[in-house]
Amino acid sequence: MNARISLPQPETGQGPGLWGVLNQRRSRRRYVDRALSLAQLSQLLWATYGISGARGDRRLRTAPSAGALFPLDVYVLVNRVADVPAGYYQYQPEDHVLVPAGHEVDPQALRDACLGQSMITEAGAVFCLVAVPDRAVPRYGERAHRYIGLDAGHAMQNLYLAAEALGLGCCAIGAFRDEAVNRVLGLDGVRRWALYLGTVGSL
């Protein structure tokens, strides 16, 4: 079992200009075989769903969320990241750490469940946005399902922009067999289910 990984502090000040990053953002599906750095992984995770402040005793994040309920969990399948053993981890935004997810994920099985999209195994890391409806359904009922999808879109766009800003390639993946992906990721498909994946790799 891999150990908990402390992530370096993310950059929150300087960075490439937003307009240029927006103008350049594209879905990039071909990656070279060069590991991501731990600093890059840290920045990508923070940008996707990290803590950026507080309101009262409520932590706020880089992505907006209906009712500030944050009904997603972010997992990452590490294929090639320097100083991080390959494996499947959960991102814990409160402490900005990765913890082993307690479940082994076979990258090839995940690729197969995603209709054979080869970027799954070629990426340095695959980000998995997992829906946790119990955080939003008690307040919003049926409408929670709409909000969860909208929240995931915000987080994925953050991942895209962060990857672009770091000179990395990113591609969203929504085309997959739900049951197969949930099985590969160890999710029950009801209380926790795979909503949206994103690959990031070196260019």
Ligand X SMILES: Cc1cc2nc3c(=O)[nH]c(=O)nc-3n(C[C@H](O)[C@H](O)[C@H](O)COP(=O)(O)O)c2cc1C
**Residues at the site binding ligand X, with contacts judged by CB under 6 A:** 26-27, 29, 117, 171-175
**For the chain, first and last CA: distance in Å?**
30
- Supply the minimum distance, in Å, between the C-beta of residue 129 and ligand X: 11
- Supply the minimum distance, in Å, between the C-beta of residue 157 and ligand X: 9
DSSP state of 176: S
- Supply the minimum distance, in Å, between the C-beta of residue 156 and ligand X: 7
Closer to ligand X by CB, 41 or 129: give it: 129
Closer to ligand X by CB, 5 or 76: give it: 76
* Spatial separation of the C-alpha atoms in residues 173 and 111, rounded to whole Å: 11
Closer to ligand X by CB, 123 or 172: give it: 172
Q: Which residue, judged by CB position, is nearest to ligand X in the bound state?
A: 174
For residue 164, the surrounding DSSP H or E stretch is helix 143-165
* Residue 112, number of CB atoms within 10 A of its CB: 18
* DSSP β-ladder status, 168-173 and 5-6: unpaired
Closer to ligand X by CB, 26 or 191: give it: 26
CB 20 within 8 A of CB 116: no
Closer to ligand X by CB, 24 or 108: give it: 24
CB 83 within 8 A of CB 98: no
Report the alpha-carbon angle 63-83-92, nearest 5: 30
CB 86 within 8 A of CB 124: no
- Supply the minimum distance, in Å, between the C-beta of residue 58 and ligand X: 28
Closer to ligand X by CB, 172 or 184: give it: 172
- Supply the minimum distance, in Å, between the C-beta of residue 196 and ligand X: 7
- Supply the minimum distance, in Å, between the C-beta of residue 198 and ligand X: 9
